[in-house]
Amino acid sequence: GSIAAPNTWACQRITCLQHHNPKLTTALEVLEKHAQLRDGNSDYSRALAFRKASCVLKSLPHTLTDIHQLRGLKDIGNHSAQVIEDILEEGFSNEVEEILNDPWFIKMKLFSSVFGVGSAIALKWIERGWEKIEDAQNSNDITSDWRVQWGLAFHDDLTSPVLRQEADNLLEVIREEATKLLPGVIVEIVGGFRRGKMSGHDADFLLTHPDEGSEIGLLPQLLQRLQKRGFLLAGQAEKNSFTPGVLKKDFKLSMKGQLDHFEKWIGIMKLPKSFKDKHTDPSSIIMPTPGSDPIDGSLDYQPSRKKAKCGISGLSPWELSRTERAWCARRVDLIISPFSQYYYGLVGWTGSKHFNRDLRTYSQKVLNMKVTSHGLFDFTKNQSIPAHSEKEVFDILKLPYHEPWQRNC
Ligand code: DCP
Ligand code: MG
């Protein structure tokens, strides 16, 4: 008989990190990645189909043994069903194995692992005949994008997973400095760590303050303090671009490639290697002091357009990455939310990405509501609806409340 989950929407189902079908979901996610890299930003539909199927399998309470157990589920397309059947019957899927051994796929995955490099740039690099990260690192005329420059120079650091302990230690530093500037500030780890992951590709932090408006101006001051303590390597600050209109307007049109309209800093920090293995008293951290050390913290966090030279040392990102150092480069996002948008922002920045995507489609199709990280607009009532807790966001959306660790679809 069918053991399929009765709930149609991923945002209605519980999806934990640990589940019963990792072999199948890993295979489907290879196909998803392949579709993403092949289709680029122009067409998500193929990638989405594999993600949906993988997501259903993650929410099953048993290990799947027979394809018929999935009968009638709309989220399992023909292509995914075929792959699942192959693996159940043969133990593997030819299509997946071929992709994993495909030199194009291997190179695309490698190049798009560089911060700031998407499928379009990765494709260009392959067309130039490049095979390894070193080929891009050794090229003189690469790009003026600060992310790619730093991403290439620190590729080893940035592709080694950020550990939960590092994120926890950094949280304390950020809380300490932010609280000095703005007592009562709320600082949360969001992203994968909030969903219970033990490692991630970056660390995401969401900041707010219950006294709406007091958060204005916090970010530049916080960055200055982190800079003084030697934590900043490179990054870019973005201003808040929210207007009430974005609650109503078409999501894709208003986004222009941006994730949301919050003020934020997207960058790379220098975390002491000691952050990896133990709880570290944040006030005891002594990073190299500006001026006394060639690898000081005096780097511009506003990137220059030309190949960046770093602060006092005058080293390029590449030279800096080759020096003897007690720190590791880590991708960090700092996001500032006005309190009135905070709980929507918290749900959005907690993810997963697929959870968010499903939540948006569900809200639109089932409730005629538009949900974003900034709020919720009810088109039937023609008004926006505030939320005062994460639970309230789920209530308004008529969804059972699920903890962050149950949103791992
Ligand atoms: N997010 C989103 N859509 C995107 C990117 C991000 O909705 N295109 C949201 C959901 C993510 C959160 O922001 O969970 C953080 O983004 P990350 O890319 O850092 O994703 P994770 O933190 O989930 O993964 P990782 O552990 O690899 O950092
Ligand atoms: Mg993350």
DSSP letters, 91-149, are SS-HHHHHHHH-HHHHHHHHHTTSTT--HHHHHHHHHTT--SHHHHHT-SS--S-HHHH
**C-alpha 76 chain-centroid distance:** 26
Domain holding 386: CATH number?
3.30.210.10
Residue 5 counted as domain residue: no
Last residue of a domain, one of 90, 111, 143: 143
Pairing of strands 327-336, 203-208: parallel
Residue 257 has what pLDDT? 60
Q: CB 49: neighbour CB atoms within 10 A?
A: 20
Higher per-residue confidence, 201 vs 245? 201
Q: What is the mean pLDDT of the chain?
A: 90
- 149 falls within a domain: no
- pTM exceeding the 0.90 threshold for the entire prediction: yes
Q: With H, G, I as helix, E, B as strand and everything else as coil, classify residue 386.
A: coil
* Of 95, 26, 33, 78, residue with least CA distance to 54: 26
- Determine the pLDDT at residue 4: 52
Contact 405, 196 (CB under 8 A): yes
Cα(196)–Cα(154) distance, integer angstroms = 26
- Pair (33, 49) in one structural domain: yes
Say if 75 falls within a structural domain: yes
Render pLDDT for 178-217 as a digit per residue (tens, 0 to 9): 999 999 999 999 999 999 999 999 999 999 999 999 999 9
Tokens of 8: 């149609």
pLDDT in tens, 103-161: 999 999 999 999 999 999 999 999 999 999 999 999 976 678 999 999 999 999 999 99
Domain end marker among 299, 314, 340: 340
Task: Please indicate whether residue 231, judged by its CB atom, sits closer than 6 Å to ligand 1.
Answer: no
* Residue 155 CA, ligand 1 centroid: distance in Å: 19
pLDDT at residue 300, as a whole number: 42
Residue 56 maps to which CATH number? 1.10.150.110
Distance (Å, whole) CA 333 – CA 343 = 18
Q: Are residues 74 and 209 in the same domain?
A: no
- Band the pLDDT of 72: cuts 50, 70, 90: confident
Cα distance between residue 233 and residue 313, in whole Å: 13
User: In this structure, are 327 and 228 located in the same domain?
Assistant: yes
CA of residue 36 to ligand 1 center, whole Å: 16
ipTM: 0.98
188 and 334 in a single domain? The answer is yes
Burial of 176 (0-12, 13-18, 19+ CB in 10 A): middle
What is the C-alpha to C-alpha distance for residues 71 and 86, in angstroms, rounded to an integer?
16
User: 63 is written with which tokens?
Assistant: 């290990």
Q: Which of 353, 374, 408 to mutate to test the pocket of ligand 1 (most atoms within 8 A of CB)?
A: 353
Judge whether residue 334 has pLDDT over 70.
yes
**Residues, CB within 5 angstroms of ligand 2 (ion):** 191-192, 200, 202, 204
Point out the ligand 1 atom lying closest to the alpha carbon of residue 202.
28
- Based on the fold, state whether residues 336 and 230 are members of the same structural domain: yes
In this prediction, residue 294 has a pLDDT band, given cuts at 50, 70 and 90, of very low
Q: Structurally, how many domains does the chain consist of?
A: 4
CB of 349 within 6 A of ligand 1: the answer is yes
Residue 236 lies in a domain: yes
Decide if 150 is inside a domain: no
Token reading at 86: 């192959």
Residue type, 90: E
Per-residue confidence band for 5, with pLDDT thresholds at 50, 70 and 90: low
Residue 98 pLDDT > 60: yes
Based on the fold, state whether residues 217 and 239 are members of the same structural domain.
Answer: yes
Among 178-187, 239-248, 308-317, 390-399, the range scoring the smallest mean pLDDT is: 308-317
The per-residue pLDDT for 46 is 95
Are residues 167 and 260 located together in one domain of the fold? yes
CB 2 within 8 A of CB 68: yes
Phi, psi of 246 (to 5 degrees): -70, -15
Mean pLDDT of 60-81: 92
pLDDT class for 256, splitting at 50, 70, 90?
low
Kindly state if the Cβ of 360 falls inside 6 Å of ligand 1: no
Residue 69, domain member (yes or no): yes
Which is more confidently placed, 58 or 311?
58
The tokens describing 335, both together, are 């996001």
> The domain that contains 188 carries what CATH number?
3.30.460.10
Q: Is the C-beta atom of 235 inside 6 A of ligand 1?
A: no
Q: Same structural domain for residues 95 and 121?
A: no
Residues in the chain: 409
Output the pLDDT for position 1.
Answer: 43
Decide the pairing of beta strands 327-336 and 263-272: antiparallel
343-380 pLDDT per residue, tens: 999 999 999 999 999 999 999 999 999 999 999 999 99
Beta bridge mates, 187: 207
Domain range enclosing 165: 159-340
Q: Return the minimum-mean-pLDDT range out of 2-6, 48-52, 173-177, 247-251.
A: 2-6
> Quick one: pLDDT at residue 305?
38
Question: For residue 309, is pLDDT > 50?
Answer: no
Residues 174, 266 within the same domain: yes
Residue 143's pLDDT is what?
A: 76
Q: Let me know: does 119 contact 40? Beta carbons within 8 Å.
A: yes
> CB of 345 closer than 6 A to ligand 1?
no
Answer whether residue 2 is part of any domain: no
Q: Are residues 279 and 398 in the same domain?
A: no
User: Are residues 255 and 320 part of one domain?
Assistant: yes
126 shares its domain with 164: no
Q: Is residue 4 part of a domain?
A: no
Domain's final residue, options 318, 340, 362: 340
202 C-alpha to center of ligand 2: Å?
5
